[in-house]
Amino acid sequence: MSHPEIEPYDHGMLDVGDGHHVYWEVCGNPNGKPAVVVHGGPGSGCRPRHRTYFDPEVYRVVLFDQRNCGRSAPHASEPVVDLSANTTDHLLRDMEQLREHLGIEKWLVFGGSWGAVLSVTYALRHPERVSEMVITAVATGRHSEIEWLIRGFGALAPEAYERFRAGVPDPGEDISAAYHRLLMDPDPAVHRKAAEDWCAWEDAIATVPPGRDVEHEPWEPRFQLAFARLVTHYFSNRCWVEDDELAREAHALKDIPGVIVHGQLDLSALAGNPWVLHNAWEGSELVIVERGAHGTGTTEAIVAAIDEFSP
């Protein structure tokens, strides 16, 4: 079970430079233990449900929208937007600016999916600022993981994959780069179709079994375009993380207590990912949730892991 729904007691827009302003909010106990939520995507934005992972009597919870998404500005859905100042290094610097702005010495870092990659990278760069870490829906930024999502997964959902490949002129090239060019095309008819095609594939790989039609609320067009632009921007640049970098360097996390929560049926981020990280990160705890999937079925384990670090 999750904790009660809460509203922020403070929020704002932080000028992080490069013409970017990052939305942030704080909720829970103003005098509580600091924690930060690092959302996924890239481009998903922070969500109200993220607040419910934390005991509001115990934690001072910071949430923020990464560059160009959510309530941050400029938004990636704008007709003309420059994403050149949106890289992994930029996001890590934003986290440090936000921590300093809020007067926080160190915080518990929670991240899922892409947020797991960013969280681990942040902890490797700034270990003195991380009290503990909880990550879920684990990705490690290996290039094979991105290839799995844009090519390898096709064998599990062949019909959806054929439609996905048909959305780009030359499916033999890097699919994420090809989609990104279409998504950045100034013609609304071109970039809207590319966003619909990309997000239809996102839907296909999120189901168990893969490719199964699932009824859900339609993608909001502004969110859909921004999300697709940001994901393909990062994927086509392999997230600006060296291949196997996090797995090679994770031994440096040995002094940071951490819990890795992963769904057994998470086909988007295969179970091998958390095992790789767990084996490299001495002292980490690995929790595999039976029947858990990517972002579903793991809430109870996430809450338990965060509660474990309550003061």
Cβ atoms within 10 A of the Cβ of 239, count? 23
Cis peptide, bond prior to residue 209, ω within 30 of zero: yes
Alpha-helical regions (H) of the chain: 48-51, 88-101, 114-125, 143-150, 158-166, 175-183, 188-205, 221-236, 245-249, 272-280, 299-308
List active site positions. Answer: 113, 266, 294
Distance between alpha carbon 240 and the CA centroid of its chain, in Å? Answer: 15
- List the Cα angle 219/224/227 in 5-degree steps: 135
Handedness of CA 23, 305, 119, 261 (dihedral sign): negative
- CA–CA separation, 247 vs 100, rounded Å? 28
The separation between the first and the last C-alpha atoms of the chain, rounded to the nearest angstrom, is: 20
Dist CA 256 CA 307 (whole Å): 16
Distance CA 20, CA 180 (A): 21
Longest dimension (CA), the chain: 55
Alpha-carbon distance 194 to 168, whole Å? 8
Q: Count the neighbouring beta carbons within 10 Å of the beta carbon of residue 186.
A: 8
